[in-house]
């Protein structure tokens, strides 16, 4: 199976499909449709982000009892002008979106084809590929469609432990983007600076305040990182407006309110208006997945280890309604969201084996 997964990964990565590029998304999903089992029924569903291309849902009906959804996204963060074509260096396959997550999408389609060979093993097999994972701020709209499913398997990039054991992701922090808008007053910075209300200065105070709310070693492992600030247009005018963007992560999304509470209402007369967006739930399926990981490890003949990861994933949206949610089933790789993004070709066969062992363990319970 591995050689075909690598070939299909190359085809998917050859098409640039950053979030919001509907033409690119359409080309990638057309390829995915070709790679699906012939028996699959394909639908295009409205995306959670209205301006994005419709998502893809493929379903197969069987005569068994279990229902499983294989989950992935086809959008990338690299804009088309910076898209890196596929190229090999040693055992690595480089290219924009290889690790996050077109290599994982190709692997999930291989798993779907394998399952389709014996439809007596499942009642319904679904493949859901979305187009907006990298920049979505709206509510995720597909969760209810899969309520009551027996398992959700997500194919974000895989990993190994320090001892070389295969790892899968069963815990992720909740994530949110905090935007702080500053409203001040313009004034000539040389003639009458006292008449201004400096939005930039207010945002600087806000950045320091929210960073001080972080508690990475506390029970919620709350991290707060100011990432972007914009204010001012010219060098001799007191900035009248601006915006601060802050990345927040926590085991408990309720902790984000402590970050908002740390922001002063105003600084030097400039008002500060916080708005929390892109709030993604935390994922904690460690207890629910433990028996399946033990059984899959026996089938594989080597350990499959539960791991945690800080980055957000669509799998987090499913865990509340599908307790048996496992992420990180894709190939091993690195440098996601950078020009050096890659997957390890040699890991593909191992990760296929991990995914199939988990499927076997789920279907045998």
* 63 and 26 part of one domain: yes
Question: Which residues have a Cβ under 8 Å from the Cβ of 129 and sit 6 or more positions away?
Answer: 29, 32, 55, 56, 57, 72, 73, 74, 105
The C-alpha atoms of residue 278 and residue 114 are separated, in whole angstroms, by 35
* 151 and 207 part of one domain: no
What are the pLDDT digits (tens) for 164-207? Answer: 999 999 999 999 999 999 999 999 999 999 999 999 999 999 99
pLDDT of residue 365: 75
Task: Tell me whether residue 230 is exposed, middle or buried, using C-beta atoms within 10 angstroms of its C-beta: 0 to 12, 13 to 18, 19 or more.
Answer: middle
* 168 and 186 part of one domain: no
Q: Can you read off the two tokens belonging to residue 244?
A: 């601060």
DSSP states along 304-343: EEEEEESS--THHHHTTT-S-EEB--S-BEE-TTSTT-EE
DSSP states along 126-189: EEEEES-TTT--SPP--GGGGTT-SEEEE-S-BEE-TTS-EEEEEEE-EEEEEEEEEE-B--BT
User: What is the CB neighbour count within 10 angstroms for residue 111?
Assistant: 23
pLDDT of residue 179: 97
* 16 and 94 part of one domain: yes
Q: Which of 280, 314, 341 is the last residue of a domain?
A: 280
Report cis status (omega within 30 of 0) of the bond before 33: no
Question: Which residues have a Cβ under 8 Å from the Cβ of 43 and sit 6 or more positions away?
Answer: 56, 57, 58, 59
Q: Is the distance from CB of 201 to CB of 268 less than 8 angstroms?
A: yes
Q: Can you read off the two tokens belonging to residue 28?
A: 């990638």
SS3 assignment for 47-110: CCCCCCCCEEEEEEECCCCCEEEEEEECCECCCHHHCCCCEEECCEEECCCHHHHHHHHHHHHH
pLDDT of residue 311: 79
* 133 and 196 part of one domain: no
* 243 and 319 part of one domain: no
* 232 and 113 part of one domain: no
Question: Which domain does 224 fall in, by range?
Answer: 175-280
Task: Tell me whether residue 351 is exposed, middle or buried, using C-beta atoms within 10 angstroms of its C-beta: 0 to 12, 13 to 18, 19 or more.
Answer: buried
pLDDT of residue 173: 95
Query: What is the spatial order of strands in the sheet that 41-45 belongs to?
Result: 41-45, 55-61, 124-130, 67-73, 151-154, 325-326
Q: Can you read off the two tokens belonging to residue 9?
A: 């990964």
**CATH number of the domain where residue 260 is located:** 3.30.70.360
Question: Which residues have a Cβ under 8 Å from the Cβ of 264 and sit 6 or more positions away?
Answer: 205, 206, 209, 272
Residue 191 sits at the vertex; the CA angle it makes with 189 and 192, to the nearest 5 degrees, is 70
Cα torsion through 61, 365, 155, 138, rounded to 10: 70
Q: Can you read off the two tokens belonging to residue 350?
A: 């191992």
User: What is the CB neighbour count within 10 angstroms for residue 94?
Assistant: 20
* 216 and 356 part of one domain: no
Q: Which of 265, 280, 295 is the last residue of a domain?
A: 280
* 140 and 54 part of one domain: yes
* 226 and 122 part of one domain: no
pLDDT of residue 103: 98
**CATH number of the domain where residue 324 is located:** 3.40.630.10
pLDDT of residue 45: 98
* 169 and 183 part of one domain: no
**Which regions in the chain score pLDDT beneath 50?**
none
Q: How far is CA 126 from the centre of its chain?
A: 19
* 9 and 130 part of one domain: yes
Domains in the chain: how many in total? 2
Q: Which of 280, 298, 319 is the last residue of a domain?
A: 280
Q: Can you read off the two tokens belonging to residue 50?
A: 């209205």
């Amino acid at each position: 199976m591995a050689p075909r997964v690598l070939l299909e990964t190359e085809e998917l990565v050859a098409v640039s499909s950053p979030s919001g590029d509907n033409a690119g998304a359409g080309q990638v999903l057309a390829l995915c449709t070709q790679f699906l089992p012939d028996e699959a029924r394909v639908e295009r569903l409205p995306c959670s982000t209205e301006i994005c291309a419709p998502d893809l849902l493929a379903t197969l009906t069987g005569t068994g009892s279990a229902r499983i959804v294989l989950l992935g996204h086809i959008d990338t963060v690299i804009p088309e002008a910076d898209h890196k074509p596929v190229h090999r260096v040693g055992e690595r396959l480089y290219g924009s979106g290889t690790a996050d997550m077109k290599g994982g999408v190709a692997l999930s389609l291989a798993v779907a084809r394998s399952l389709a060979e014996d439809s007596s093993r499942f009642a319904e097999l679904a493949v859901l590929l979305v187009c907006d994972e990298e920049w979505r701020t709206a509510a995720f709209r597909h969760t209810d469609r899969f309520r009551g499913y027996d398992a959700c398997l997500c194919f974000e990039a895989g990993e190994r432990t320090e001892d070389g054991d295969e790892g899968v992701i069963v815990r992720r922090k909740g994530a949110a983007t905090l935007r702080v808008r500053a409203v001040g007053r313009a004034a000539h910075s040389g003639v009458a600076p006292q008449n201004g209300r400096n939005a930039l200065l207010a945002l600087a105070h806000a950045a320091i305040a929210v960073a001080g709310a972080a508690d990475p070693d506390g029970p919620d492992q709350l991290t707060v990182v100011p990432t972007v600030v914009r204010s001012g247009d010219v060098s001799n005018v007191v900035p009248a407006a601006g915006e601060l963007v802050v990345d927040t992560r926590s085991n408990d999304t309720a902790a984000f309110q402590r970050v908002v509470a740390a922001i002063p209402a105003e600084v030097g007369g400039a008002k500060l208006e916080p708005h929390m967006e892109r709030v993604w739930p935390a994922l904690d399926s460690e207890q629910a997945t433990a028996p399946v990981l033990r059984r899959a490890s026996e089938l594989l003949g080597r350990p499959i280890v539960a791991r945690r990861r800080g980055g957000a994933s669509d799998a987090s949206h499913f865990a509340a309604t599908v307790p048996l949610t496992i992420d990180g089933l894709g190939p091993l790789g690195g440098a996601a969201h950078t020009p050096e993004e890659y997957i390890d070709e040699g890991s593909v066969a191992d990760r296929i084996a991990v995914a199939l062992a988990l499927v076997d363990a789920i279907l045998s319970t």
